[in-house]
Structure 1
Amino acid sequence: MSTPFRDDTLKVALAQITPVWLDKQGTLEKVKQSIEEAANSGAELIIFGEGLVPGYPWWLSITHASAWDNRIQKEIHAHYAKNAIQIEKGDLRSIQSLAQKHQIAVYLGIIERPQDRGGHSLYCSLVYIDAQGEIRSVHRKLQPTYDERLTWSPGDGHGLQVHSLKSFTLGGLNCWENWMPLARTALYGLGENLHIAVWPGAVRNTELITRSIAQESRSFVISVSSLMRKSDFPADTPHLDVILETCPEVLANGGSCIAGPDGKWILEPVADTEGIVYETLDFNRVLEERQNFDPVGHYSRPDVLQLSVSRERLHSVKYE
């Protein structure tokens, strides 16, 4: 076998960490510490879990969140919104500066409160920051899952983008979006060969679909999850007594993992461990597996089957 070109290998870092729950600044500090650690270990790409900043809305499933006009639910939601990320106001500038300083690319899951939709509703967004510190895409989750719809808004196709990093083409989706075959296909059609799947944290979510997407796409697939335990809720959380009343001891046990383009494990799901896991990927493995199957290339029939994708950033009001 020939020796791979330097651009054909990529050292990746999977940051499986616990947020400082519903504390934007506290969680951003943990993110920055992880970026520093990963950069010092030679990583070229670091990935964080779904909605890590400021955290997943765990209270929804354990506090009767669908109760109408409920004071407790309103107050928790307001606290959540105040700690959401406002990109337009510079909330991610410190992360961008670190990425530029260390020449490391970042995929970061955030809860976004965007000004272009009025500045009050929340979106589960996946942000890609390149190694020059520029935000290249903000993908708002197309369809919040089940009880998530009580606090998150549905996104649009604007963030269905891919990004070049050395020989690789990266794309990413949030949690159960990864089960949406057309969303995956939209990224395959842009040349994706390293798929990023971010999750709130559970081995049960990542252990099957990570390998399945890899087999379907003949790409590398990296799943990154967070951790969350009952003991991780900060003491100043609004209505903490209500949240803890029926809260399980473990809400998120991790499950970060990597599958290769042949669908086999490179890194099996890591559970119950906080920290950063590293692997080096070889781009040549993609070309090897595309020899017999390429879902949007030689093994496709665009004369029979085609996908139409709208990448318009949707707005409720258009000003002339």
Structure 2
Amino acid sequence: MSAFPSFVAAAVHAAPVFLDKAATTRKAVALIREAATAGAELIAFPESFIPAFPVWAAIWAPIDNHEYFVRMAQESVLVDGPEIEAIRAEARRHGVFVSIGFSERSPVSVGGLWNSNIIVGDDGRILVHHRKLVPTYYEKLVWASGDGEGLKVASTRIGSIGALICGENTNPLARYSLMAQGEQIHISTWPALWPTRRPKTGGNFNNLAANRIRAAAHSFEAKAFGIVTAGFMDKPMRDFFVSRDETVAEILDDTPRAASFFVDPTGEQISDALQNEEGIVYAKIDLNACVEPKQFHDVVGYYNRFDIFDLSVRRTRHRPATFIEDHDAFPAEQNAKSDDRGAVSASSDLREEAERLGPILAVDG
């Protein structure tokens, strides 16, 4: 008898409607519907699917990209905005779990953006809202650093689901923080291409090989299933760039493309890989297969030395300011009065503050 659930998962390998949040959201809803109709209970989308991945930051100098940053900011979405609500509603409608990457707009800054991912429950609730810890390389020109609040694993009826964005899958501590929460299904999200050099010079980053290595390594170490979901560059996206500068055609055409596929808890690929066309990859996931490999290396169990190694993770959301308001304070005219109760309270507060700061403020001599 099986102790853990089994289900069908879907990895979406698709292009956004480039820099169009409304149209891309409609496309995402249609893809959720398609995958759910095919029997998938977990549907994973690529990095920054809404509204696009900012490839321009790789191919042109910052002084030439202001217009793209402005448009990216305009087409990025709020986590409580209508685009994310549409995704949540579709997940709820079909009773499926959805992971989707998006460029998140700050509610307090018109130019503040994060590279974010959410895991939505089958009831439409947001189970995990993660902001990429560190934008990678030229991504820093578009996105701000995230925080640890989203380093969480969602405990669901189909298993424990975690996700990291692109280069975070190279961060051993970020990956371990998810393993330490009992992660059984790991979603890694990627862009369609990630150029680092002009192809004719050689040495370009091999998006395909690097992603396979990282996905296999994490699944092997965590003894978890891996869902690799990458973006796709379609003709409209390519034409968008080439129409501005035809010399970038070589970069776009000859930079390695990422692929979408599945790996099992031993790191073996268990599905076809989609790379050069849009589509959805499906795989059957049986979480009982996570058990046997734990006999060999259980890095969050017996195969570790917790008396030697110690990891602390600050899961707090970054905020630009903390506002402290005392709604119970006396009105100003009452504070001016010499009230015994107020005097006692004030002297008591000062005494406690002095005792707390004493060791800090003490100065020799």
TM norm. shorter chain > 0.5 = yes
Give the letter aligned to residue 36 of structure 2: A
Aligned to 1:94: 86
Q: Which stretch shows the higher mean deviation, 240-249 or 298-307?
A: 240-249
Q: Matched residues in 1 for 2:260 and 2:271: separation?
A: 8
Aligned to 1:37: 34
Aligned equivalent of 1:189, options 154, 172, 180: 180
Cα offset, 1:286, TM superposition: 0.4
Provide the alpha-carbon RMSD of the alignment. 1.8
Give the letter aligned to residue 185 of structure 2: L
Greater Rg by CA: 2
Q: Matched residues in 1 for 2:242 and 2:80: separation?
A: 31
Aligned equivalent of 1:81, options 68, 73, 82: 73
1 or 2, which has the higher strand percentage? 1
Residues 107-145 of structure 1: per-residue CA shift (max 9 Å, x gap) = 000000021x53531110011111000112211000111
Give the letter aligned to residue 5 of structure 2: D
Aligned equivalent of 2:270, options 247, 266, 269: 266
Aligned to 1:199: 190
**Are 1:121 and 2:101 an aligned pair?**
no
Aligned length: 308
Q: Matched residues in 1 for 2:27 and 2:147: separation?
A: 29
Aligned to 1:246: 248
Give the letter aligned to residue 308 of structure 1: S
Residues 263-284 of structure 1: per-residue CA shift (max 9 Å, x gap) = 2121253221211111111111
Give the letter aligned to residue 274 of structure 1: E
**Are 1:147 and 2:151 an aligned pair?**
no
Aligned equivalent of 2:99, options 93, 104, 107: 107
**Are 1:14 and 2:11 an aligned pair?**
yes
Give the letter aligned to residue 14 of structure 1: A
Aligned equivalent of 2:213, options 208, 211, 236: 208
Aligned to 1:134: 125
Asked if the contact 1:14/1:256 (under 8 Å) is kept, the reply is yes
SS of equivalent residue, structure 2 residue 270: strand
SS of equivalent residue, structure 2 residue 65: helix
Bigger relative CO (Cα 8 Å, ≥ 6 apart):
1
Sort the Cα spacing of 1:135 and 1:259 in 2 relative to 1 into closer, same or farther, 3 A. same
TM-score of the aligned structures, taking structure 2 as reference length: 0.80
1 or 2, which has the higher helix percentage? 2
Asked if the contact 2:211/2:258 (under 8 Å) is kept, the reply is no
Residues 213-266 of structure 1: per-residue CA shift (max 9 Å, x gap) = 11111111111101014x32287x6x8643544233436734111111112121
Instruction: Give the gaps of 5 or more residues in structure 1.
Output: none
Aligned to 1:224: 229
Asked if the contact 1:226/1:252 (under 8 Å) is kept, the reply is no
Overall identity of the aligned pairs, in %? 31
Sort the Cα spacing of 1:167 and 1:30 in 2 relative to 1 into closer, same or farther, 3 A. closer
Residues 135-168 of structure 1: per-residue CA shift (max 9 Å, x gap) = 1221100011100001110000000011123252
Asked if the contact 2:164/2:187 (under 8 Å) is kept, the reply is yes
Asked if the contact 2:101/2:117 (under 8 Å) is kept, the reply is yes
